[in-house]
Structure 1
């Protein structure tokens, strides 16, 4: 076949160009049991907010919308690297290299509560590890999702001498996460909001992990913020649970089995440290010097943030 252009000279027609298929959005989830889905049990396993968000990133149309009311496209690729019990150093050493190999466009990094429950808690080490994770991901143009988290002492209803040291640690971790979220342009969720913490319908029997309703709320709020940045494709995840909340009997059964096992494991690590911290708390309260503990924690956080290296310029998604 011959076509003619303005010069009048005949030219051979070019071969028809196949329409390019857009690259699927890639979403990686890094973190601990919260992101692994603990508290949202389905079919004998855990689902969780990251899976719900990944499903909501799937473009409508095609199989998802037979009527074709919205544009369709390739389904996002999703990988959940989160593991129960993970510390910040585990996310840096194990999960981040695997996530970088996955080359995500969006990556959630939600971690830190387990660090507050360990004798090895050191805000400077946590700051270095989390900064390295954020820097490595954003250097390739990945959009970060982050969240500050509730104080585990409040969630567990611990007495003040036990709860205050944990609150101090979680406050430091949340301040660190706020700082790094601003530094790396993250989509940040304030999951430590008092209203969120006080609503028991959002939490599972263990009082540390969200239930299905809570996981759905996290997924929906991240979806809304991603939509504001023009980064979502599908409709938001439904907020209403598909399953009834655990009965009182089921909750007591969990506490007597898995919950008891959790306490036994923590007793060899956290409990001795927590008792020592509680003793120091009581001594300072008696002396009227409790403010020194807060000042000491604030100073350690300031030093940790000051010691971080300068942030590199952020890459845009896909660069």
Structure 2
């Protein structure tokens, strides 16, 4: 479908789709879905966009809380990105998570929407403390590709390129993309959708950093600080049965017009 025919884009997902790491709750969140909508609007001036994502949601919660609302908006393009919150839970089941994603793929494509999704980067490339999650991530990515193939869903393979290990693509919590990371995800989605002006440039390594990344004991100290600042509080919420998304609703539940992507983005 040519980009000029995308007139209703709806994004479903969790915190990455909501835009955490790209802005804040005071000034507003942007995120990869907003950035993709801006890219689309540059070629489809009549584009309307809704973002139903809520941080902290598991794949099953995205399906239960967002799918019906998305179908009611009758999108011709939908992005579905969920599963990382499941990946972090002790009872993770790749088949169950993929089943929720496939149910969303099936319902949206059956209604005529073009669906795009993503694979996830190996958590061990982001922080060594997450090495035990690598097999889970590989299993989930495999099932996402298989489910997508069954329903004609476009996959932006953001889990494969080695560029995703670059710390500059991640916010301080290492769970959410930085503004640059969200820009890369949006570029990957645009490339997968073959939108005008897109390319595979997002797969190329970034230029060397002005200041070298820490190594040796400095890298170890950074891991300790990260665990104390972010991992500990996250585990505390899990033990108390709480979620960062408690009491929150979608930031953009209705289809609204979109301004084209700023030139500097």
Q: Same fold (TM over 0.5)?
A: yes
2:41 maps to 58
Q: Distance in 1 between matches of 2:237 and 2:128?
A: 19
Contact 1:30-1:82 within 8 A present in 2 as well: yes
Q: Distance in 2 between matches of 1:23 and 1:178?
A: 25
Q: How does 1:199-210 map to 2 (within 5 A)?
A: 199-210=166-177
Q: How does 1:161-310 map to 2 (within 5 A)?
A: 163-164=131-132, 166-226=133-193, 228=194, 232=195, 235=197, 260-267=232-239
SS of 1:118 mapped into structure 2: coil
2:13 maps to 31
Contact 1:36-1:82 within 8 A present in 2 as well: yes
Q: CA deviation at 1:35?
A: 1.0
Q: Distance in 2 between matches of 1:119 and 1:255?
A: 18
Q: CA deviation at 1:56?
A: 0.9
1:75 maps to 46
* 1:54-99 deviation per Cα after TM superposition (whole angstroms, max 9, x unaligned): 0111145xxxxxxxxxxxx642111111111111101211111110
SS of 2:126 mapped into structure 1: helix
RMSD across aligned positions (CA)? 3.0
Contact 1:206-1:255 within 8 A present in 2 as well: no
* 1:238-259 deviation per Cα after TM superposition (whole angstroms, max 9, x unaligned): 989xxxxxxx9xxx99987666
Aligned residues: 217
Q: CA deviation at 1:199?
A: 1.5
- Structure 1: give runs of 5+ residues left out of the alignment: 1-21, 61-72, 241-247, 270-319
Q: Distance in 2 between matches of 1:155 and 1:170?
A: 13
1:311 maps to none
Single out whichever of 144-153 and 81-90 deviates more from structure 2. Answer: 144-153
- Structure 2: give runs of 5+ residues left out of the alignment: 207-213, 215-223, 242-265
1:99 maps to 70
Q: Distance in 1 between matches of 2:81 and 2:59?
A: 9
Q: Distance in 2 between matches of 1:141 and 1:84?
A: 27
Relative CO higher for 1 or 2, CA cutoff 8 Å, sep ≥ 6?
Answer: 2
Contact 1:205-1:255 within 8 A present in 2 as well: no
Contact 2:6-2:76 within 8 A present in 1 as well: no
Alpha carbons of structure 1 residues 76 and 37: separation in structure 2 relative to 1, 3 Å: same
TM-score, with length taken from structure 2 = 0.72
Q: CA deviation at 1:109?
A: 0.7
2:254 maps to none
Question: Does residue 118 of structure 1 match 2:89?
Answer: yes
Contact 1:82-1:95 within 8 A present in 2 as well: yes
Contact 1:155-1:207 within 8 A present in 2 as well: yes
Q: Distance in 1 between matches of 2:161 and 2:38?
A: 28
Contact 2:6-2:77 within 8 A present in 1 as well: no
Q: CA deviation at 1:145?
A: 0.8
